[in-house]
Amino acid sequence: MVPPTQTPAALGYRMPPEWEPHAATWLSWPRREGISFPDSFDRVLPALRAMVEALIESEQVCINVCNGAHEAEARAVLRELSMERITFYRIPTNEPWCRDHGPIFLTRDVDPHLAVVDWDYNAWGGKYPPCDLDEVVPTRVAQILGLPVFYPRMILEGGSIDVNGAGALLTTESCLLNKNRNPNLSRGEIEQRLRDYFGVREILWLGNGIAGDDTDGHIDDLARFVSEHTVVTVVEENGDDENHEALQGNLARLREMKTDRRKIDIVTLPMPKKIVREGLRLPASYANFYISNSCVLLPTFADPNDETALSVLQKVFPGRRVIGIDCRELIWGLGAFHCLTQQQPAI
């Protein structure tokens, strides 16, 4: 543990962007008895297998499991894959959303090169107790890897922020300023924690999230940095859709934003058509992609806009293969590939 007076920023740490080289991707394997995939656990396994198969082409995959039986279940799903780049760790979790409960890694140029920041976690504003196992995952990972840990003493999920690696951070008011997270912290105090613990200078605020998003508006369903000065953002062209107004509002904000006094370049992604299951609008979004060393994993929904999204991202990432994987079952858990993953930077 690092003394509380020494913040990561003061010590030269920063959170690198997702497109910088990874040593590994961390996952938390879902539990059959968990709440994320009611009555559909087996139907999400093909998407998980396809995700791991794509990731091991170019990096290690570290999978948190509860015990030997849980590991055996995961191995059975992955049995036809090469296991050379897959490692299991006995780190129990409540649910599989490693982006939000997992370790956020920081880097710097001097030893120790790598560190973990362990934000407090309350399962998206206390919506899905218990979360006691998820809450301690970052420190457990840091202990296994022998890394220093920083404790900001603020609730934050990894899916609620996105960085460009050059001093800018994107987030949303609807999530970070929600009173179900940090009711005793002001906007200014939250911004200062972000600067101190992510090594950023500029905090760029969007407004509201998409319909069906139980996270109160995570940025990884809305807009993502894909380079220092370029953001990919989703837009809803159908004026009658409930997402239209919020996404137009976010687009208008992005058009006014700058990083290092330079206007942000904006690339737009469509939204898939509305998906409703058992009366619930699901937060399907092409923005929930994950950037690995060699490919980009894009959630698809058997939708006419799947091909458009694939084409847009292939132009944005010419050096990576964009792989579309059907997420019609996975999105029933209210998340997709970015929500499931957490990158460990290469050093």
Residues marked as catalytic: 339
The Cβ of residue 244 has, within 10 Å, a number of other Cβ atoms equal to 15
As a whole number of Å, the CA-based R_g of the chain is 19
CA distance 9 to 265: 27
What whole-number distance in Å separates Cα of residue 117 and Cα of residue 283? Answer: 28
Helix, strand, or coil here: 280?
strand
Interacting residues of 343 by C-beta distance below 8 A, sequence separation 6+: 18, 22, 24, 25, 26, 105, 291
Amino acid making up residue 90: R
Q: Report helix angle 68-77 to 41-55, nearest 10.
A: 70
- For residue 112, is the peptide bond before it cis, meaning its omega torsion is within 30 degrees of 0? yes
121 and 153 in contact (C-beta within 8 Å)? no
Neighbours of 234 (CB within 10 A): 23
- Tokens 């040593």, residue? 23
Residues 6+ apart with CB under 8 A from 184: none
